[in-house]
Structure 1
Amino acid sequence: MGIDTSVIWAVIIYFAVFMYVLLDGFDLGIGILFPFVKGKRERDTMMNTVAPVWDGNETWLVLGGEGLLAAFPVAYSIILSGLYLPLIFMLVGLVFRGVAFEFRFKAREGGRHWWDKAFIGGSITAAFFQGVSLGAFLDGIAVSGRSYAGGVLDWIAPFPILAGFGVIIAYTLLGSTWLIMKTEGELHARMVQVAKPFALLLLGAIVVVSIWTPLRDPAVADRWFTFPNTLFLAPVPILVLLSIALLLGSLKGKPHRWPFVAALALVFLGYTGMAISIWPHIVPPYITIWEAASPPASQGFALVGTLLILPIILMYTLWSYWVFRGKVKADAGYH
């Protein structure tokens, strides 16, 4: 029995996209949280918590996109054609956020507020259109043969828009719990206040998506609600409820790491539920990973290099976060 390189590549791409959502999620969440904090000192602290690591987070987005091109070129052409505009808007948001990140600290006092606005706008735009792209992907992309058959604005629909706001909520929660772990004093207390309602909003968004998706797609309903699948998949919703309980409980007293751990668990479970719902399709609901795959020789050739570089990316990511662990102060940096 040979090795199924299509399955291996699907796992690599899912993992890369998840790592991007995980790492850049709280990064973008900090920009979304800027309107909740007005003081320059506090905003400086917020940005300093991710200043040493933020630009490495996009590595995972590049890996996921290039992996899709190398391993599943049919899916790449269809998805990029169908989601061209929201992905462009997402990239524009990331550009504004990145430029504002660098220029804000160099701006004169009177002009800094423009870079603050660019940072906020870029973060919200990137997060929203990431959600819109995800929602349009899950909603189904029109396909004719091996080509995109829809229109330029097919992504403007209720479910993608809902997903856009859902991602903003998720990133805001990740950002607030990250800052709970990394800051002290008034900013820490403010983030505890912000995290509570956004935890409940995220739970509401998960419930809405969990109801909407199977009602819209009978195949998803069969995947989740037929025996014995229901028994095997029951841990996912149970763990979601336990994670919410852990998150809300850990926000009492003097929270530190556990709110962030619980928020990560919620994002992971939501992402896992999505993967379960669409598997093995890579262009839902029409094209599977095997139908979209490049020739086995091409997948194998690209896989060798990817399996060599992937541990290196993981190691430098873990090392950078380990080096810059601990609390951050506006004047003193890490300690």
Structure 2
Amino acid sequence: MADIDLTTIWAGIIGFAVFAYVVMDGFDLGIGILFPTFSVGEERDQSMNSIAPVWDGNETWLVLGGGGLFAAFPLAYAIILPATYPLIIAMLLGLVFRGVAFEFRWRDARHRAFWDVAFSLGSVLAAFTQGMTLGAILQGVHVENDAYAGGWLDWLSPFSLLTGAAVVVGYALLGATWLIWKTEGSTQERARRLALPLGVATLVVLGAVSAATPFLTYDYWRRWFAIPGVLLTAQVPLLVAICAVTFFWGLKRGAERLPFMTALGLFFLGFVGLGISIYPYVVPRAVTIWDAAAPPQSQLFMLVGAAVIIPIILAYTGWAYWVFRGKVGTHGYH
């Protein structure tokens, strides 16, 4: 029982870290995705300044999620990484180019147009590969003798391309709604105009992924539609509908915070749906969290460290967002 408790706790910690990364880094990746739609000058500068104090801290959760997977579930790490190496490498390169561009566009004004392109392309690449990685894992990984036994391009499929596009669209929605909340003037108005079609597109791709997932394997179908479980799983699309109605109502009423909060709600419900589909597997239909778990002594040792570090990260993150809680202008927060 102790092993199961520790393993479940660590699965929850890693799940929390991944979700925190998605929602926090998602909106600043979304701003990069939308960057070409903003006019050169004030709109782009205002968009950049809205995430300047928090964008690098947001990526802390990616490190925690990846490092936690390696430490707490080493077998899963050893299977998933070889199965998705090209995607992971592309994602890291996208994040690197994006980060470099973020700093250099202010310091190298002569080549600002180049850095703007690098910032946008890096954001699109990172978002798309994250979505494809999710799709590649969800569609199943070929495992033999506790090792990856698939090919170099097994991750490439129509389903993984769909999930890649879905994450790009969803991140763009988060970026637009963040700018509605944090900016003023023409930047806010442009973000508001973008949010409506992006909201519709997000619901379309979310519906497409949700419709396609049960057909990947009967196990997914059973989890969603078998009685009596369907009585619980049916609440997820109902809550998505409530979130969607609230989102469009908030946009129509000119709300500033509500669109962002409801967009986060859509992501949370998508994350819940993912959990319903795969739990307790960490490599779907191949390796459970208990199969992949590190020895309980290691999990307990790491849990002590996590119990100290995670509250510190949460406190720092909350403090940073509180300090920079106002509107942002061309030259920073005010």
TM range (shorter): over 0.9
Is structure 2 residue 83 aligned with structure 1 residue 104?
no
2:211 is matched with which residue? 211
- Please give the residue correspondences for 1:220-239 in structure 2 after superposition, counting only pairs within 5 Å: 220-239=220-239
Q: Give a deviation string over 1:27-62, Cα, whole Å, max 9, x none.
A: 100100111112211100000001011110111000
SS for the counterpart of 1:282 is: strand
Within 2, Cα distance between the matches of 1:32 and 1:10? 31
Within 1, Cα distance between the matches of 2:216 and 2:89? 27
Moved more, 188-197 or 85-94: 188-197
| Matched AA of 2:14 | I
| Matched AA of 2:333 | Y
Deviation, structure 1 residue 255: 2.2
| Matched AA of 1:254 | G
SS for the counterpart of 1:150 is: coil
2:78 is matched with which residue? 77
Deviation, structure 1 residue 26: 0.2
Within 2, Cα distance between the matches of 1:2 and 1:329? 52
1:290 is matched with which residue? 290
- Please give the residue correspondences for 1:55-134 in structure 2 after superposition, counting only pairs within 5 Å: 55-108=56-109, 110-134=110-134
| Matched AA of 2:52 | A
User: Normalised by the size of structure 2, how large is the TM-score?
Assistant: 0.98
Query: Once superposed, which parts of structure 1, at least 4 consecutive aligned residues long, lie more than 6 Å away?
Result: none
SS for the counterpart of 2:292 is: coil
1:304 is matched with which residue? 304
In structure 2, list runs of 5 or more residues that go unmatched: none
Within 1, Cα distance between the matches of 2:165 and 2:53? 28
Within 2, Cα distance between the matches of 1:17 and 1:61? 7
Within 2, Cα distance between the matches of 1:326 and 1:254? 18
2:22 is matched with which residue? 21
1:31 is matched with which residue? 32
2:333 is matched with which residue? 334
Within 1, Cα distance between the matches of 2:197 and 2:254? 18
| Matched AA of 1:204 | V
Give percent identity, aligned residues only. 55
- Please give the residue correspondences for 1:250-289 in structure 2 after superposition, counting only pairs within 5 Å: 250-289=250-289
Within 1, Cα distance between the matches of 2:11 and 2:152? 27
Within 1, Cα distance between the matches of 2:41 and 2:34? 13
Deviation, structure 1 residue 245: 0.6
Moved more, 29-38 or 18-27: 29-38
| Matched AA of 1:322 | W
Q: Give a deviation string over 1:66-104, Cα, whole Å, max 9, x none.
A: 111111100000000101110000000000000000000
Q: Give a deviation string over 1:156-179, Cα, whole Å, max 9, x none.
A: 111111111000000000000000
1:53 is matched with which residue? 54
RMSD over aligned CA atoms reads 1.0
Deviation, structure 1 residue 334: 1.6
User: Normalised by the size of structure 1, how large is the TM-score?
Assistant: 0.98
| Matched AA of 1:334 | Y
1:152 is matched with which residue? 152
Within 1, Cα distance between the matches of 2:201 and 2:195? 10
SS for the counterpart of 1:49 is: helix
2:199 is matched with which residue? 199
Within 2, Cα distance between the matches of 1:155 and 1:220? 19
Within 1, Cα distance between the matches of 2:289 and 2:199? 34
Within 1, Cα distance between the matches of 2:259 and 2:296? 43
Within 1, Cα distance between the matches of 2:157 and 2:96? 26
Deviation, structure 1 residue 254: 2.3
| Matched AA of 1:106 | R
Q: Give a deviation string over 1:185-215, Cα, whole Å, max 9, x none.
A: 1111111110111111111111111111111
How many matched pairs? 333
Within 2, Cα distance between the matches of 1:301 and 1:2? 14
Deviation, structure 1 residue 294: 1.1
Moved more, 2-11 or 132-141: 2-11
Deviation, structure 1 residue 234: 2.1
| Matched AA of 1:64 | G
| Matched AA of 2:115 | W
